[in-house]
Structure 1
Amino acid sequence: MNFSYSEKVVQLQEQVSQFMEDYIYPNEHVFRSQLVGQSNRWSAVPPIVEELKVNAKEQGLWNLFLPDHEQGAGLTNLEYAPLCEIMGRSFLAPEIFNCSAPDTGNMEVLARYGSDEQKKQWLEPLLTGEIRSAFAMTEKEVASSDATNIESRIERDGDQYILSGRKWWTSGAGDPRCKVMIFMGKSNPDAPKHEQQSMILVPMDAEGVTVKRMLPVFGYDDAPHGHAEIHFDNVRVPVTNMLWGEGKGFAIAQGRLGPGRIHHCMRLIGAAERAIELMCKRASERETFGRKIADHGVVQQWIAESRMDIEQARLLTLKAAYMMDTVGNKVAKAEIAMIKVVAPNMALRVIDRAIQAFGGAGVSDDFPLAYQYAGARTLRIADGPDEVHARQIARLELKKYRQRGEEL
């Protein structure tokens, strides 16, 4: 594996970094103030978002995540990694470049499995940033870390499917621009275990779709994006809304979550980089007991450990991305699982040290650290909890030795 970036990627790194300096960081507080100033934080998007998206489009910094589509940037996972990392430094950035979850995963699903009609209706406006989307998979009543537990139903009735069930943590469903969801449910409970589920497209305004409540995360509601609990009461959609075919839901989920997981890891490295940067600046400016905070041995230890943590996580992320590009997601499943555990825990350690260096300011909303911490902690659960990924890693490792024993 070559760890140096191509000239194209280096140029894009410079462009994205400059865009962050010119447009993203200065407008984080603008976004917050515009959001607070709205009478209903869920009814409209702060104007600064659409303004910045126009700038990103004009500079060609758009859909950088999508490799195999005429409206994508044509980057591999390895090439996209350092760009996604830069975006991860700010909560505001991913959407501005049209590279935010869950839209990226949904666009990849539609690009790979969608019919021509589905692509025209939903993929094209997602690619241009005209609409947003949601992914309805997790359920309150079952342990959704095992996707085969899902109980929501998809039943055929002539030329329609009837959907019933309750979903929660459906990210993006609170956004007024969210027009479509990908819904996962059981279409055939009697089929083999991994062929019982299907995925189907559901318009947000379909009759029977009810957003019951928005769910805060550590007190943050992430308006106007948000995470919703949604009830589906005999929702009818045409059979043409089915993705790929009945019984393909689990296979689609595995394909969707691979890139999605590693994108989260890339962004977490960016969040950690911003945290260590803030920690170093703060420690160099403040004094305690007659010395700069940065001169205290314990703080130097925090900084050193943080740099080592970040570099290790980045190398594993790049290896996973490289393997996804060269041998595919299935062969790279151990590396994807490993980085999905490593990156959130790394980010939590680094951000926690930065918070400690900031003292009371670190847990306030005057700095991005508290929000970053909440997001990183959530990602120890989202897209599969640490324990599920660790179980898979252990099984794959043990399999090597069982095979060697059989050979002997």
Structure 2
Amino acid sequence: MRELNAPGPWQAPTGPIRSRVAFAAAHVVPQVGAENVPGAPAVVDWDATLAYRHQIWRYGLGVADAMDTAQRGMGLDWAATQELVRRSAAEAASVGGAIACGAGTDQLDPARVAGWQRGDTAALDAVVDAYCEQVRVVQGAGAQVIVMASRALAKVARSAEDYARVYDAVLAEADQPVVLHWLGTMFDPALAGYWGSDSVETATATFLDVIRAHQDKVDGVKVSLLDAQHEVGLRRSLAALDGSRVRLYTGDDFNYPELITGDSQGYSDALLGIFAAIYPAASTALQAFDANEPAQGHAILASTEKLGRHIFAAPTYYYKTGVAFLSWLNGFQDGFQLVGGLHSGRSLAHLVTLARLADDCGMLLDPDLAAVRLRALLTTNGVDS
């Protein structure tokens, strides 16, 4: 094994970050020794999970919780999700940290949803009810709402009008401006045809119509399509809307350096899963933007881009494995595990490359510990380190 590098020159801010609004979408740490196997209820290590969020807040970023990075619909059940929302929101309040949490429809029985037919009015009503229940949980905890894309809605909606009907009802439930989340099929294949069309251009037009109809209820949008050109176009369309500004929170874990840096016509804010893995570097970069040093900010973000692209490589669904692996290497969890057994989603070769890329960009925060854990992983898998 090669000698590992020292961590990068990362620094926590002395005050609020001003130049961009940035959230890191955090994962959950399972309890070591619990039955966190596929299909079982999640058993969460709350101390480790919340301590990780405190690290993110210490570096001046907000936490986006109970989202796909936290394995919503992918191992984190609704009972555990509610507890996560309430605990994270309370911890955020204790330190003045920003917190936004996902509201979706994953409490619906998948077997029931599987039997629905497109355009079923009663099914659409059930989707609305499920969304509204979750919105109330997030609001009641004191967190900002992120309206997540819904597998159930994708299953039952027949047209753009069905999406408009559901989002009209859900946004009516919101008591503060929300973030709308558009998650691409590379993250969740069950969301194919979201906004009523497989055409991204047509879907974008519907998405913008929903935003126009509810500008007072929309703080911003998180777009996770891994398409920088599309995001820039959407960002400019949002900037052209009359009335209050609607933020574009990039969810592009491939192209975030250029999108956050922006151009002469604007920039993207951030709500990123990769920021949960690189939050010290992300914070240091944003502090450079605050200091009117955009080239330095871009350079820091760009130094992590290969790591981000590797963690989010296809099948992108398993990016959470990489986030948890780096968390383990850095000592923030006792075991390399995820709820639902999702840590098995990447190969040993993928993980070793991830460690090398993290080392290259200074993201192994305790190199000695990382070396010990890498050796243990290799030995366990029958490899002479």
Indicate the structure (1 or 2) with the bigger Cα radius of gyration: 1
With the length of structure 2 as denominator, give the TM-score of the two structures.
0.30
More strand by share: 1
Of the two structures, which has the highest relative contact order with CA contacts closer than 8 Å and spacing of 6 or more?
2
With the length of structure 1 as denominator, give the TM-score of the two structures.
0.29
